[in-house]
Amino acid sequence: MTTLPTQTDKKLGLVIDLDTCVGCHGCVTSCKGWNTQNYGVPLSDKDAYGDPSGTFLNRVHSYEVQPDTGGAAQTIHFPRSCLHCEDAPCVTVCPTGASYKREEDGIVLVNENDCMGCGLCAWACPYGARELDALAGVMKKCTLCVDRIYNENLPEEDRIPACVRTCPAGARHFGDLGDPNSDVSKLVAERGGMDLMPELGTKPVNKYLPPRPKDTLDCSQSLEPVATEAKGFLGWLDKALEKL
């Protein structure tokens, strides 16, 4: 069994804004691409051009949510990946020591050379963040692109996880959540960032920013037309179609 460090020098993690995420799956494809070509054994696929199934380190789920205060339902896009918990049950349950948490930055990783694919870590993870790569025979999980964030051969702006670099909506943020003065910590404080299922006591490092209430349409007021008659080309086209 693997023991957890009593404390870590940093708490690197993600802050995901559920108010901004549009569910485009850009983070999913960028994660798949980077981790297929770089760290560890490539992520495998089965029947990629038919009925695709395979190993993903990041997934996006979409839900229709009814606000407690009433009003129209909202669609919430919920990205899910490893939360790099401080008290990570996936680490302590590993029989070979393949799963471990780094003391220098708090990232939870898998030593694929020691992993025997027993699946105990996936069973222990309450967030469903681990997947068995059936072809490689080892467990896979988000690494926070550890081979990318420390790579001095990359431009400084690229030394962040691929999912963060790719997100077109700016819904994903990366930094040290153990530093109260970091940008991500300030963002969590300002927006009321929350843990996922805090009652489990895993103390996840990653945080979620809750969606903000959306404006509602007042249907009691009638809408006035913006124009009574089309002009220009649209006006000519409207009259031409009337003659047909």
Whether 228 has a pLDDT exceeding 70, the answer reads no
CB 31 within 8 A of CB 162: yes
The reported pLDDT for the residue numbered 52 is 63
Vertex 163 angle, CA 202 and 131, to 5°: 50
**pTM greater than 0.85 (yes/no):** no
User: Of the ranges 17-21, 113-117, 121-125, 131-135, which one carries the lowest mean pLDDT score?
Assistant: 131-135
Average pLDDT for 4-15: 95
Q: Where are the domains of the chain?
A: 12-209
Q: pLDDT-derived band of residue 241, with 50, 70 and 90 as boundaries?
A: confident
Mean pLDDT of 83-94: 97
The arithmetic mean of pLDDT across residues 203-217, rounded, is: 84
**Which CATH fold would you assign to the domain 12-209?**
Alpha-Beta Plaits (3.30.70)
Q: Give the helix/strand (H/E) hosting 89.
A: helix 89-92
Rounded mean pLDDT, 133-145: 92
Q: What letter would DSSP give residue 24?
A: -
Instruction: Look up residue 71 and give its amino acid.
Output: G
**For 30-37, what is the mean pLDDT?**
90
Whether 70 shows a pLDDT value over 80: the answer reads no
The pLDDT score that the predictor gives to residue 40 is: 67
Q: For 35-54, what is each residue's pLDDT tens digit?
A: 987 766 788 887 767 666 78
The predicted structure's pLDDT at residue 104: 96
Q: Are strands 207-209 and 12-17 parallel, antiparallel or unpaired?
A: parallel
